[in-house]
Amino acid sequence: MSGERDVSFDPKEHQHLRYNPLRDSWVLVSAHRMKRPWAGQVEKPPEEHIPRYDPKNPLCPGNTRANGKVNPDYDSTFLFENDFPALQPDAPDPGVDQHPLFQTRAARGICKVMCFHPWSDVTLPLMKKQEVVKVVDKWVEILEELGATYPWVQIFENKGAMMGCSNPHPHCQVWASNFLPNEPALSDRCQRNYFEKHGEPLLLEYARQEAERKDRVVVENFAWLAVVPYWATWPYQTLLLPRRHVLRLTDLTTEEREGLADIMKQLLTKYDNLFEVSFPYSMGWHGAPTGPHLKEDNSHWQLHAHYYPPLLRSATVKKFMVGYEMLAQEQRDLTPEQVTQMFPQKFIYF
């Protein structure tokens, strides 16, 4: 393998590997596979008519939740402790097994649910920009509060029944843990290694490069840009990046928070226009670890958000991360550059 590019190589036609520097792993890109016939599973299209208020929905204002608590008649964001938490502040310690192959650790934390809006029939792209700014402000507030003690606060949104979202009301979840979960721990190692080798944050250089190269930029504004990452695994995966070096959501200026609300509305509107459905995804924020790490040097970190949508070729055909992806490595059919071109250039958003 000479390392020289073969003049006949065409990434849209010829399989190749791409390196994901945030996970130290390789993705197999086989764009030509998109042409294969599909007789596999077809999902139900996303539920179109969702009532603005459902007296039975435990996330709606004034309604009673599973544990008997009554929600306030909230008119903006609303945060409550998850009634079915995966992590609780206190739990008996599992003890330590001396055998290296049977290790256990105590897991403690707190799980919250955050409603974005009182209405069930809106999504972030359909909310007014100022209402989305309130969501960003609440994320910052939660991170400030839980990040004071917990080393990791995972803000994440499962959107759409296809992504296992159990309730159509616009909301996200926040799980704070007394441990650094696998994905942020891997990302921390990768960003630290890059910083030690190159002297600057990996994702700051990456954002500069993508802003210059342009062929994977989905949408950008003065403070942010959203790209289909060069190493994207999920077909329509995007990465949301600040242009400035920012460690955590709590470090954003007021203008950057407004810019974030703007770029999220633009990105999510483009997603909704892809297949003309309310686009399903799981998204989450990764910033420098918190709690005891607040007093450490985390200059290798750059705040960013991952959007992982499940769809492959239409509103009802999903990408399945099975078989080769589980046993060998991640594989994708379209190139990130082809996907970038599929996002509508012209779109209306308010």
Ligand X SMILES: O=C1CCN([C@@H]2O[C@H](COP(=O)(O)O)[C@@H](O)[C@H]2O)C(=O)N1
Per-residue contact flags (x/-) with ligand X for residues 81 to 100, judged by CB under 6 A: -xxx----------------
108-127: which residues touch ligand X (CB under 6 A)? 113
The answer on whether 257 is annotated among ligand-binding residues is no
Pick the closest to residue 78 from 25, 17, 152, 138 (CA basis). Answer: 138
Residue 110: CB minimum distance to ligand X, A: 12
- Residues between 146 and 205 that touch ligand X (CB under 6 A): 158, 165-167, 173
Catalytic residue among 117, 169, 171, 304: 171
Give the range of 58-66, 71-79, 290-298, 312-320 binding ligand X by CB under 6 A: 58-66
Size of the residue set binding ligand X (CB under 6 A): 12
User: Is 66 an interacting residue with respect to ligand X (CB under 6 A)?
Assistant: yes
Could you tell me if 218 and 226 are in contact, meaning their C-beta atoms sit under 8 angstroms apart?
Answer: yes
- Output b/e per residue, 174-186; b: 16+ Cβ within 10 A: bbbbbebeeebee
Cβ 255 to ligand X, closest distance in Å? Answer: 30
Closer of 167 and 316 to ligand X (Cβ): 167
Phi then psi for 271, rounded to 5 degrees? -55, -45
Which token pair is 333?
């059919």
| 201: exposed, middle or buried (Cβ count in 10 Å: 0-12, 13-18, 19+) | buried
Q: Is 68 annotated as a binding residue?
A: no
Residue 60 token pair: 């709606």
What contacts 67, CB < 8 A, 6 or more positions away?
A: 83
Q: Give the amino acid at 245.
A: H
* Site stretch for ligand X (CB under 6 A), options 77-85, 184-192, 330-338, 339-347: 77-85
Query: In this structure, what token pair is assigned to residue 17?
Result: 């590997």
The residues of the shown chain that bind ligand X, judged by CB under 6 A, are: 58, 65-66, 82-84, 113, 158, 165-167, 173
Residues noted as catalytic: 171
Q: Which residues are annotated as a binding site for UDP-alpha-D-glucose?
A: 33-36, 66, 82-83, 158, 164-166, 173, 319-320, 324-325, 331
